[in-house]
A and B are shown apart, each in its own frame.
Chain A
Amino acid sequence: MTSETIRWTRKDLLGIAELSPAEIGLLLDTAESFSEIGERPIKKVPTLRGKTVINLFFEASTRTRSSFEIAEKRLSADNINFSTSGSALEKGESLIDTALNLQAMAPDLVVIRHGSPGVPHMLARRLQAGVINAGDGAHEHPTQALLDAFTIRRHKGRLAGLRVAILGDIEHSRVVRSNIHLLTKMGATVVVGGARTLMPTAVEKLGVEVAYSLEDALRGADVVMMLRIQLERQGKMSFPSAKEYFRLFGLTRERLKLAQDDAIVMHPGPMNRGVEIASDVADGSRSVILEQVTHGVSVRMAVLYLLSGVTASEES
């Protein structure tokens, strides 16, 4: 891999769109070297001792936030969590003022999740701390794409040449955007599939194939990635009911037969069983959904490590 030859130089991880294949390779290889720590009886290394990480979550999150927290703790960073409820933001403080106040406490890294696209970019311009985008609206979710790629690599040994079908609510998904950037940069073919009412305008310009039936999307796929359907949007003109959605676009065992025999099934969670994915597929032998969660910790350790500016020579 090329990772031996390049060094990480970015202060922030805002998205996959701006990364080079070599940088993506470095992140994935670094995650590989951290994954073993999670298998030890004592799951802690001193790598980020004395570093302060603030987790700034403006949107509810269980999986991503816990994953970052665990990754931070396994690296011995001091971390604090900041969420919107009960915060100054509820008292009318602007986002910038909140951020500048946090900056005044001199954190090394800020992990941010926010419902509005571009907020991590806005903070990155103002903060000395490195900023990690943990999801900004429907824009990007880079660590999710990295953990997905990590999981695919573990099973397929490569990314280049694979056919990856991503199915579901393409329009509102940050996961799909980061995955499209990552997978196409690494040489995979991406086909996005789903209801016409959930497909964003001009999505083919992102370098993907577009399918409007689940069957067309699944045919020949090496990887099947399901996206969460946001039930709260149901009835708001995208599709009439969950039942009707499942009839057209739900992943069943029967439909999965169209994919390659050794295709793996992924889902970033949280899942709606019986809406976008049948339970027997989610829990079946092809599913790697829980592995994704495990690898998420390794990937986030790699990101925290590289962004913290700690080089191997500084490590004791």
Chain B
Amino acid sequence: MASLLIHGGRIVDPSQGLDGPADLLIEDGAVARIDGKIAKPKGVETLDATGLVVTPGLIDIHVHLREPGQEYKETVATGTRAAAAGGFTAVACMANTVPVHDNRAITELILLEAERAGFARVYPIGAISKGMQGQELAEIGEMVAAGAVAVSDDGLPVMNAELMRRALLYTQHYGIPVIQHAEDLTLTGKGVMHEGEWSTRLGLIGIPGSAEDVMVARDLILTEDTQGRYHVAHLSTARSLDLVRLGRSRGLRVTCEVAPHHLILTDEEVAKTGFSTHCKMKPPLRSSRDREALIQGLVDGTVDCIASDHAPHHADEKDVEFDKAPFGILGLETTLSLCLDRFVHAGLLTLPRLVELLSTGPARVLGLPGGTLQVGSPADVSIFDLDGEVTIVAADFRSKSRNTPFDGWTLRGRPVATVLGGRKVSPLP
């Protein structure tokens, strides 16, 4: 098993309240020791982290790996390679594959492919309903037995309130959260961007913030009645955030994630880019008021984690009329740099808080083993340069797809190396 000494860096581990210069010794794939200065044991490889930040491996609990079925967009191998390049050592992948991940055979397939690739830990999320049809529960217990860590029909909401109620009840047998893509489809209609001044100016059909809010409100009521465990995926509005606060104040087990693009871009971006389909995703880029509220949620602790909603689409699919383009953008290879530049360097978040939002926080939401460098835990480590400038070049992505609105952006802060179970998975020699 892999052993490695990472020396000279600044270790930031919010799970232990660590922030300072220290060395990290990994033995047999697990964290063995953290100390001010560790002498290199004989025969152990070293990684010089002088001037760099060393943190628990980053975890993205909302990605689409597209396998099985849409391997032309992404595979487990390419998606996890992108994760490693972006500083992530673990991802949780959504169930809207083709066919839908609603049975244990697919759970096993995903885990097998992940092991073969070896770039990152993959935690499959099973569907809530059979075929994501929103009619009857999928075989949740079977999928959990095979390794699924949560359920979600992400891509689609569970519109049927009774099914949602039953999912919140049934999942308690397995101690897993129900992750909702909160969207009332009757309010979305044929909407393609946020409903507001910019949808009015551009003549595009709007998706009102209320489409998300009424669903979150409904689900919180069901969570209260069932005492279930509820997680809001890609929360995007100020009011939904307030609803989460209200739910917490009533003692509900509710968590939420926010995506980097909702924290950085607004609906005006659709106009600024001349209808770029890289600004089309669900939920849509919201108003600046929403964006500011979400950042406040990062600061005050309402938001549990940042998750990218990495959603690969082929260039041919995105290079069409705005109305026709599929929803979604990539995230794994841009999230860390965006967050360092826009939140840490902008003075909105401390570095430990950002690391918490990207590692300890997501691990806690899904009850995953990572998110910490405590002695004995798996040696998943992210190493990045807080100050190094980087220009995002979509053409160089490890992902199979290129759909990002951040192509060409120059940012301060960049991933340098990623260690998985004591083994360096990025950069590769």
Listed in ascending order, the chain A residues whose CB lies under 8 Å from chain B are 17, 94-96, 114-119, 121-122, 125, 136-140, 174, 177, 200-203, 205-206
Interface residue? B391 (CB, 8 A): no
Are A114 and B321 interface neighbours, CB within 8 A? Answer: yes
> Known contacts A94-B319, A95-B321: does B197 contact A140 (CB below 8 Å)?
no
Question: Can you name 16 A-B residue pairings with CB atoms under 8 Å?
Answer: A96-B319, A116-B321, A116-B322, A117-B203, A117-B322, A118-B204, A119-B321, A119-B322, A121-B275, A125-B274, A137-B204, A201-B195, A201-B199, A201-B206, A203-B200, A205-B200
Complex contacts, A177 vs chain B, CB 8 Å: 201, 203
Interface residue? B196 (CB, 8 A): yes
Q: Count of A-B contacts with CB under 8 A?
A: 68
Tell me the smallest distance from the CB of A200 to a CB of chain B, in Å.
4
Which residue on B lies nearest to A14, using beta carbons? B274
Are B196 and A117 interface neighbours, CB within 8 A? Answer: no
Point out the residue from A95, A140, A205 that lies within 8 Å of B203, measured CB to CB.
A140
Complex contacts, B300 vs chain A, CB 8 Å: none
Interface size class of B (residues with CB under 8 A): 20 to 34
Select the residue from B203, B208, B275 with max chain A CB neighbours within 10 A: B203
> Known contacts A96-B319, A201-B199: does B274 contact A121 (CB below 8 Å)?
yes
> Known contacts A117-B203, A203-B200: does B320 contact A95 (CB below 8 Å)?
yes
Interface residue? B142 (CB, 8 A): no
Alpha-carbon distance between A106 and B275 when the two chains are bound, in angstroms: 25
Are B320 and A139 interface neighbours, CB within 8 A? Answer: no
> Known contacts A117-B275, A121-B274, A138-B203: does B320 contact A205 (CB below 8 Å)?
no
Which residue on B lies nearest to A177, using beta carbons? B203
Complex contacts, B196 vs chain A, CB 8 Å: 201-202
Tell me the smallest distance from the CB of A232 to a CB of chain B, in Å.
14
Extra inter-chain contacts (15) besides given A117-B275, A122-B274, A205-B201, CB under 8 Å = A95-B321, A116-B323, A117-B204, A117-B323, A118-B202, A118-B274, A118-B275, A118-B322, A138-B203, A177-B203, A202-B197, A202-B200, A203-B200, A205-B200, A206-B201
Interface residue? B316 (CB, 8 A): yes
Are B201 and A17 interface neighbours, CB within 8 A? Answer: yes
Interface residue? B324 (CB, 8 A): yes
Alpha-carbon distance between A96 and B274 when the two chains are bound, in angstroms: 16
Alpha-carbon distance between A116 and B322 when the two chains are bound, in angstroms: 7
Are A139 and B197 interface neighbours, CB within 8 A? Answer: no
Which residue on B lies nearest to A124, using beta carbons? B274
Alpha-carbon distance between A121 and B323 when the two chains are bound, in angstroms: 13
Alpha-carbon distance between A117 and B205 when the two chains are bound, in angstroms: 10
Complex contacts, A137 vs chain B, CB 8 Å: 203-204, 323
> Known contacts A121-B274, A121-B275: does B200 contact A201 (CB below 8 Å)?
yes
Tell me the smallest distance from the CB of A166 to a CB of chain B, in Å.
14
Complex contacts, B204 vs chain A, CB 8 Å: 117-118, 137-139
Point out the residue from B195, B200, B274, B324 that lies within 8 Å of A116, measured CB to CB.
B324
Are A201 and B197 interface neighbours, CB within 8 A? Answer: yes
Alpha-carbon distance between A17 and B202 when the two chains are bound, in angstroms: 10
Tell me the smallest distance from the CB of B300 to a CB of chain A, in Å.
28
